[in-house]
Structures are given as C-alpha cells and as structure tokens.
Chains A and B, each alone.
Chain A
Amino acid sequence: MTFITPKAKHGDASDGNLGGRLSRLDGPAKITGSATYAAEHQIDGLVYAVTVQSTIAAGVVTSVDASAAEASPGVLLVLTPDNIMPLKSATTWAGTPGPEGPFLALPRIVSFNGQHIAAVVAETLEQATAAAALIRVTYEEKAHVYGLDDPKAGEGVPIDRMTMSRGDAVKALAEAPVRIEQEYRTPREYNVAIEPHGIIARWEADSLTLWEPSQWIDGMARSYAEWFDIPFENVRMISPYIGGGFGSKALSLPHGAVAAIAARMLGKPVKLVVTRPQTFTAYGGRPATRQTLALGATREGKLLSIVQHGVNETSMLGVAVEPLGSVTAIMYAVPNFSSRQNIIPLNTVTPGALRAPGENPSAFGIESAIDELAYEVGIDPLQIRLLNYAEEDPQAKIPWSTRRLREAFAAGAEAFGWSKRSPAPRSMREGKQLIGWGVAAGTYPVRRTPGEALVRILADGTAEVASSSIDMGQGTYTILAQTAAEVLGIPVEQVRVKLGDSALPRAPVAGGSQLANLMTGAVHKAAHAARDELIGLALNHPGSPFLDQQTNTLTIADGVISTPRSEQPAISIADFMRVIGQEKVEALRDTLPEDKKNTQDRYNNFTTMMAMKPPTEGGYSLHSWCAHFVEVRVDEDFGTVRVSRMVSALDSGRLYNPKLAESQWRGGIIMGIGQALLEEGVVDPRYARVINNNLGDYLVATNADIPDLQVISVGVPDHHASVLGGKAVGELPIVGVAPAIANAVFHATGKRIRDLPITLDKLL
C-alpha cells in the first residue's frame, strides 16, 4: 500500500486545484529510488523462477529431459508440460467464457517460437538461470506460418463486427473522377516497457498475494481467482508503481500463472521476472497490419467514397483484432464508405494492445491516403482535410460532443508556419538535406466505464483518497489529489492518495485512455459526499460552533470551516473533528447506474470490459482530436530521416493537469516518431522468431532522435464526455504521427513510403 503525499507547493496559485500544473506527486519517490516496483519487494523466504521458451514455432513437445536441471545446485522444482498443474479457464477481458478445457501455462503444443514450455525454481536467480539452460526439450516439429507474407498465411478469417458501410462505396468509387488505391502496412511492434514483466506470488492457505505491475488490478485478480478456483476476495494484487505498460500490463499472462503454481506447489513465495529477450514473446505487442485503401474524389478533392480492406495477424490460439477502420470511418465527411477486416492466424504469441490499438495503424492508412489524394488533385494537404471536414460523425450520423480539430489545424499551422510551405515535393532543401513538411490528423475515442472511490477526512484535517486504480506514470496520484483537494477545500498537500491495491475500492482497466476521466468523476462524487457529511455534522452536531448560526450550509476553504456570510465563527477541520470527537468522515461512492449496482454487475463492471460504453452511446459522438505538423530532413545521399521540428495541437477536452497531460502527449509523439522511423519486430521466416528481441536491436527513439516538441491544447471542457469535462489524453498523441512523418518524407523526397518503419534503405 502506498501513500503519496504532496511535499510542497510551487508558489503557483493553481497548484492545488484541478487544472493546475502540479508536478507529479510520485516523482520524488521515483527519482530517489524509494518507489518500490513489483519485483523489488523484499519478501521473506523468496525463491526464484526462470522459464524456458520454445525454440520452434509449431509442433509438440515430445519429451523434456530435466534430469540435469533437477540435479543442479539449489533447484527446488522443475515445471514442464508433464507436471504443470492444469488451471481453470478464466473469463476473457470481454466478459466471455475462456477457451474450453483447462488453462495450461506450459502447454505441450507449441504454437509460437518463444512460448514458455518449462520453468525452473531455485534458491537463487543464478541457480535457476543456470539450471534452466540444462533443460533439454525434444519436439515433433510441424510446419509454421511466420507472417502475413507467408504463402501459407492465406486470406484469414473475416471479422464481421469490423464490417462497416454507408452509401454504396464500390459504385461511388467506380464513378469517381479521381481514384487512388494503395496498400499500407505496419510491422509487428512491441510495448518495450523499461520495467520488464515480472511477478512475486505468495500463498497463505487459500489466499494468493501477487506483487505484479498491473494496468488493471481487478481484472487480473479475477483471472488468478478463476485459474485457481478461489474466491476473488482471496486474491490480493499489489501494484503501486508500474514502469511503463502502454497496454501490455493489463492482462494476466502465462508467466504469472507459472509463478503462482510454483508458489503453491512449493509453499514458498516465488519471484519470476522474464528476461528482456523473453518479453518479446511473453506478451503480444501490436500485430502486423496491412490495409488497402481506395479513395474516390472529385477533381477538386472532395471525397466521394472510401473502400477499405484490412488484415492483421493474430495467433493460432486467440483472436486479436486491430480495428483498422476505426479512424477511416469517422475522420472525413465521405458519403460512401465500406470497410471490412480479416485476421490471419499464424505462429506468434497472441497480439495485445499497444498505445491506440486500431486508431494508430488506421490513421497511418487514411492519413497517408488523403495526402496522396491532395497531390493527385493538386491542393494543399491541410486544405484537403478542411475541405472534407466532418461536421458530425459521418458513420453514426450524430453530432460530435466537441470536435476542435479545425482549431487544432489552425493553431498548429500557425505555430508551425505552414503557410510558408512550398507545395512541390523536393522543393525545399538545405545543402544535401531535403526538407519536407507534412501534416496528419489523429483521433481517439472517449471510453467510459463507471468507477469507485473512497474519500476519507481524518481527525487531523487531512484526507485520503483510495482506489485500486493505478498510476503507470500518467499522473493518477496527482490529479486525484487535486480533485479531492478542490472539493474538500483543503490544501493539496494534505491529501494522501492510495492506489494499486486490490484491497481498495474497485476500478476498471487503466486502458483506452479512460482512467483519468472516470476516476476524477468517482473521486469528485465521493469527496462531495464526504464534504456534505462534514458540513452536516458542523450544522447539526451538538458540540459544533455553527449550531446556532442561521445558515443552511457552510464553506470550507484552506482547511477551515466557516459560514458563507461572516468571518466568525471559523474553525479548522482538525479542530472541529477534535471538538466533536470524530475520528473520520468518509464516503465510498461509485458512478454505476442505479440498475447496475447489484453484486454481479458491479463485479463485471470492474473485472471485465463489458460495461465500457461505446463513444456513440448517449446521442453524441465522443472523441479526442489532434493535428501533427512535422518537418523532416532527409539526406539525399543516405536516405536518413531526421525529424527536425514538430508542432502538435490537441483537443483532449479539459486538462485536469496541463503539465502532466502535455507530458503524456509528448511521450506519445515520441513513441510515434519511433514507430515511424525505427520500430519493427524482425521475424526470421524460417523460424518464425523475432530476432531483434533486445533493446540494442529493437530500436526505439533515443533523445537524439527527438527535436523540441511543441504541444498546444485546443480543447474545451466537454461535459458530455465526462463529469469534469476531460476527453481521452494518453493514446491520442501517437495517432497520426507516423503518417505526418511519412507525408513529410514524401514532400521532402517525392517518395511515398507505405510500409513502416521508414528506414534509410527504403529511400536510397
């Protein structure tokens, strides 16, 4: 359990209020190293597990020779497909039943290269590592499918729920005076959080405690409870700090099951941290995607039709869909649209979520294609976007709640100096550097799930906020303290926030950029309830100095209770609590609808994504928006691309803490630059194995790759989107970065790169 207490104000009047630029409250703990991450917890009697991964992509484990490992010093247990405890199949994140049959954390059937197939537990990490290297596995190997380009991959399986249409897109395309059709591709990409995935599991009788980085305490706790067939309440999951998740730490994974099984079998707490190379197959990153986009337009550039067909890879075991039509469907006012999508099963770990799953590759397609159309009809890439501006949601045919994309284009263009752009490709240069300017838009939906929070005013006048929601760096600790401080009328440094513990009030997944909105909403509600109760006591308690005041409410500011119209009486909350002999005033509130407060609905609300409302529910279409303006410099001899300048204008509605929101935006943009220019899981077709499975060879952007990033907020409070007016923040900024860069590269070089990343060999 972690208490985060603000240390000091910064002399800024807005420090404590929602909307103020308070620095992250967890910052000092992280900088000084006192923040304890999952694998750093010191647990008595800890032993260590190391997994062995498959070296083939498809087949069956016919035998595992563990004799040498078992005889190795310090070894306590070797787990293989022969002795792995079968677990119960767990409910999926969507709330649907899990696969039939038991869940085998170390399966005999191998469906991807790098699958966990054995594990060694020993007294020390070194002993476990050494013994794991002695395990000899014999396989019966079968033919594998390595990737989308494998001739054996086929056309895949259509996903009907991805099919969208309006008008008659095929006919309108055929009749359109201008048509372009191209294929756009994105490779397999990884979340590569700096904190690798790891876990400490400890059993006490039938209760399981897990220290594991988690973006979704309650959802992951449910999986463990169901796997081991124990009550949900018997799983305690603790995750006060997460060293980066980006979507990869929201679900329980096989290595977690292995650790918990080993801990149960040994009666000892077990730590299992996957190595960096192992992380590349211990979770699934973004699947490789491919989409064909056909755009039909008038000669003036007015869109008439879009026809899209997309595919993404998935595993042989699970259905992972990266919705490639998500941005295509809503970005432009096009009357005729059709989109369908297939998934292609192949021998890979089941892909997962990586920052803006769906919207990210979807935007790469449509925002590249609209740029191609702009050149085709000879108008400015920014103009064509305004020409086709969607005044309402063209797919749902309902109004936007707020869509400040026009303002984003205007603010971004102004700050960037877009009007000085020379239109022709290869028309701007400095020596050997070809200069290109590109623009692209992005969007991310507002996702909504009810939340819950406890706010407690203590005898000393300070307050606590408690929730099982998490902070993986996005600022939950800080904005919840700000929310409570503002409502309670106490200084922000007198609010302590407790997060990341399943013993606390429930929270849904920290994913889909929903957490800030739903948790500020829940804390706001609970804090109001606590404040009302405190004021009620002050008005009614026999010992209260306000008992005889002719007033029906009171004011609380700077921790002092007073009447609205006079200076006296006034009493600090602490003194008041002492006077009336009260230990605490607390309120637990949720934002569940009245008809969803029953036990089962509550459980599903927090442990599955069943209750997450679509962005179009409620009569408005809710989305965040952004526009990225990029300058690249491409060396004409070497093909190297450098992003030299970037301005992004973003509409995330109201910002609860602009400093933290801007930081999230910049982080997403940086990730987008890496995606555009560097990131690619390289697969050897012969082995269906990712061969650049380390941070030296899987290239993410370094500081040297990132110019000064100017971000501009153009949002306004959107109370259709959330109680306090915020929209999506975290996933928005990466959407549109890669196409903006690709468009700038085209402007610089005249070469259109439609498959990411844009490496130098593609431009030579």
Chain B
Amino acid sequence: MKNFTYVRAGSAQEARTASALAGSMILAGGTTLLDLAKCGVAEPDTVVDITHLAGLDRIEVDGTGASIGSLARMSAVADHPAMQDAFPAVTQSLALAASAQIRNMATIGGNLLQRTRCPYFRDAAVFPACNKRSPGSGCSALGGVTRNHAVLGTSDACIATYPGDLAVALVAFDAVVHLGSRATPVDDFFLLPGNHPDREHAMDRGEIITSVTIPLSAAARRSVYLKIRDRQSYEFAAASAAVGLELEEDGRTVRDVRIALGGVATKPWRVRAVEAALIGKVLEPELVRQASLLSMQGAADHGANHYKIDLAPRVITRAVLQLGGLA
C-alpha cells in the first residue's frame, strides 16, 4: 500500500470536487478499497472520506418504492423490516453476501462499485496483463483457470465476473442509481467490458452515488434471491437469480416476472427473454424449464466455467417455481 493524502469531505459537493482529481478515490465502508489497496490494485493518491456525510444513510420505504442512501450499511438494509416486506429479493441478496463483519461496514454505494474477484485482476505483480487494471495490457484469465469466470457479456478483452449480489436484485426490479443531480437505471449503470473493461460504470470522475431508488411492484413484493455456491456462507455465487413474480387472479397465470442473474456474467444480467417467454403463460414446471434456457442465449464458456451454463437456468427455474408455489 502506498502513501496517500486523506481528505475528509465536509459536504457531498466537496467530495465531488476532491474526487474529480485524477488519482483520488472515495472511502465509504472501505471494505473493497482496503482490500484492493492491500493487493496493490488500488493505489490512490488521495482518499476522500465521505463516511460522516449527513443524510446519506437514510432508508425510506413508502407506497411508491424505496430510497436507500448510498452510505446505508448493507446490514442495515438487510435487516430493515419494511424493505424485507416490500423487496425480499433485495434484502436476501444482502444477507447472503460477504460476511457479517463486512456487511456491518460496507455501504450500498460501495457495494455497487465493488470490483471483480478475478484472481488475475487482483495480482498485478504476477499477472501484469489485465485490461481492466491496465488498459491494453491483455487478459491473463484467457487461457487460465476460469472456473469462476463469466459466460455472458464477455469480450476478447475481459471475462471477469461481476461479483455482487445486491445489484442483481436491483437490476431485476428496475432500480435507479442517483448521482446527485442526475440518475440512471441501474441496468445502464453497469457497462459491458467490450474493449474497455477498465470502465465499469456509467459514472464520471467527480460523481458520487447518493442513493438508489427502487420502484414498488407486485413482482418485487413476491420475490426471492437464490444464491448457489459450494460454501454456505462468505462465498461469491457460482450462479444466483433474483426473481420476482406477479400472478393473475387465477393464481396460475404470469402477469409480470422479473429475472436477473448473478455470478455468471460480466455485469448484473437481466434476462428479459426468459421474462417474455413466461408473461401471459400458465405457470408449470416444463414451461419454466424451457424458458429459463433462454437465459443462456449468447453464452460462451472457457472450459472450467461451462457448468455455469447448465447451472444458471436451473437456478432461475427453481426460483420461479418456488415463488409460484410449484417447488
């Protein structure tokens, strides 16, 4: 870890100004920043501390939706009764992420901005080639050990998996990321790697996340976050699905369904093709199984991660059937 200047921002505006300078980074919960600094990936010249800024940790839920301040702790949102009631997939995605210690420190804004767990990204001394860390240097993961790498949204420049859980639930329920004066749908906030995997978010230097809003919906209220992994705690998803379901009065026909995948793609992955295949249909297992296969349209594996292509549709199927009372 190299020396840096510590700046304690007095206001959100001060934070924006300070973080606009090249080489500066925002400190919120610090769980990602400290980790990346220790492994030499983050080498900020200036750290802009925003942890004490007032009003950015509010959690508000009303008849239209939820507004979550960017400094709200993961554990605070996960444990919020009104959030649990209105957005079970969201609170479950938080409760199943990281460890209790990390959830108590990490913030919602920082959670969205967490970097990939790709081992080639995290070890600059041994793997100098990483387009995400050092644009144009190449990709060490290609040809390497890829069991945890993405099968969707990859490019020749990068196959790193987006590791988070929360964003998967947010993408499913059309959440919006607020960057002070402007806002962007969370699905657009995360960028595909393309030729510029170093650029991960539709966010400019000097912008900070101020809040996330999630519109209320019947699908969100009847939702689940299903996370599959080898270890039962403190592990990233092999595959996960955030699913919300709204049925017609008959209790069988799909009026609305929202599905997003985690652990398999380079960004939180909404699968609208699966949703379209289910809306208006009577829910039954074979239909769901077939529809869920559409989630892997365009998937490409790199050998050891092939299992994700088999696994992810099964996760969708289970989650949908569970919500529909069929599993």
Contacts and interface: CB of A to CB of B under 8 A. Distances in A.
Given A126-B1, A682-B145, A686-B143, A677 B230 contact: yes
A684 interface: yes
A704 B98 CA distance: 13
A130 B2 contact: yes
Contact of B231 (A133, A678, A683, A764): A678
Contacts of A33: none
B310 A702 contact: no
Given A130-B2, A133-B2, A640 B230 contact: yes
B45 to A, nearest CB: 14
Given A126-B1, A133-B40, A702-B232, A764 B123 contact: no
A705 B40 contact: no
B233 A760 contact: no
What is the size category of the interface that chain B forms with chain A? 20 to 34
B6 interface: no
A129 B117 CA distance: 23
B318 interface: yes
Contact of A637 (B2, B123, B125, B314): B314
A691 B228 contact: no
A682 B117 CA distance: 14
Nearest to B308: A761
Given A702-B234, A760-B238, A761-B147, A640 B228 contact: yes
Interface string A606-634: 00000000000000000000000000000
Given A642-B232, A678-B230, A691-B145, A130 B3 contact: yes
A692 interface: yes
A174 to B, nearest CB: 39
A697 B119 contact: yes
A697 B232 CA distance: 14
B231 A705 contact: yes
Most buried by A among B120, B147, B235, B327: B235
B286 to A, nearest CB: 14
A273 to B, nearest CB: 14
Given A133-B2, A637-B318, A691-B145, A760 B228 contact: yes
B311 interface: yes
Interface residues of A, number: 37
Contacts of B40: 133
B145 A704 contact: no
A699 B235 CA distance: 8
A637 B1 contact: no
Contacts of B119: 691-692, 697
A266 B314 CA distance: 62
A277 B234 CA distance: 18
A232 interface: no
A130 B4 CA distance: 12
Nearest to A54: B126
Interface string B222-234: 0000001111111
A129 B232 CA distance: 35
B186 interface: no
B210 interface: no
Given A691-B123, A697-B119, A705 B232 contact: yes
B10 interface: no
B96 to A, nearest CB: 10
A696 interface: yes
A424 interface: no
A689 B120 CA distance: 11
Contacts of B126: 55, 113, 687, 689
A705 B2 contact: no
Contacts of A126: 1, 3
A432 interface: yes
A555 interface: no
Interface in B16-41: 39-40
Contact of A684 (B145, B229, B235, B310): B145
Contacts of B2: 130, 133
Contacts of A757: 230
B161 to A, nearest CB: 13
A683 B126 CA distance: 13
Contacts of A761: 147, 238, 307, 311
Interface in A745-764: 757, 759-761, 764
B78 to A, nearest CB: 16
A682 B315 CA distance: 26
A34 interface: no
B301 to A, nearest CB: 11
Q: Chain A interface secondary structure, helix, strand, loop or mixed? A: loop
B317 interface: yes
A703 B3 contact: no
A255 B144 CA distance: 30
Nearest to A126: B1
Contacts of B1: 126, 129-130
Contacts of B147: 682, 761
Contacts of A692: 119
A686 B144 contact: yes
Interface string B191-206: 0000000000000000
A431 B119 CA distance: 37
A130 B2 CA distance: 6
A691 to B, nearest CB: 4
B227 to A, nearest CB: 10
Interface in A687-719: 687, 689, 691-692, 696-697, 699, 701-705
A759 B230 CA distance: 6
A697 B117 contact: yes
Contacts of B123: 277, 691
Interface string A427-444: 000011000000000000
A702 B327 contact: no
A15 B126 CA distance: 55
Interface in B102-151: 117, 119-120, 123, 125-127, 143-145, 147
Given A130-B2, A705-B232, A760 B307 contact: yes
Contacts of A683: 145
Nearest to B126: A55
A638 B239 CA distance: 10
Nearest to A127: B3
A266 B123 CA distance: 32
B270 to A, nearest CB: 22
Contact of A764 (B120, B145, B311): B311
A637 B310 CA distance: 10
A702 B231 contact: yes
Contacts of A640: 228-230
Q: Which of A129, A683, A696, A759 has the most CB of B within 10 A?
A: A696
Contacts of B117: 696-697
A511 to B, nearest CB: 29
Contact of B232 (A639, A684, A704): A704
Interface string B66-104: 000000000000000000000000000000000000000
Interface in B218-274: 228-235, 238
A689 B123 CA distance: 11
Contacts of B232: 642, 702, 704-705
A400 B230 CA distance: 40
A702 B231 CA distance: 8
Nearest to A130: B2
Contacts of B125: 55
Contacts of A133: 2, 40
Contacts of A639: 311
Given A678-B231, A692-B119, 18 more contacts: A55-B125, A129-B1, A133-B40, A432-B318, A637-B314, A638-B228, A638-B318, A683-B145, A684-B144, A696-B234, A702-B233, A704-B231, A704-B233, A760-B228, A760-B229, A760-B311, A761-B147, A761-B307
13 contacts: A126-B3, A432-B318, A637-B314, A640-B229, A682-B145, A683-B145, A691-B123, A691-B145, A697-B117, A697-B119, A760-B228, A764-B307, A764-B311
Q: Give 6 nearest A-B pairs by CB, closest first.
A: A761-B307, A704-B233, A704-B232, A691-B119, A702-B233, A637-B314
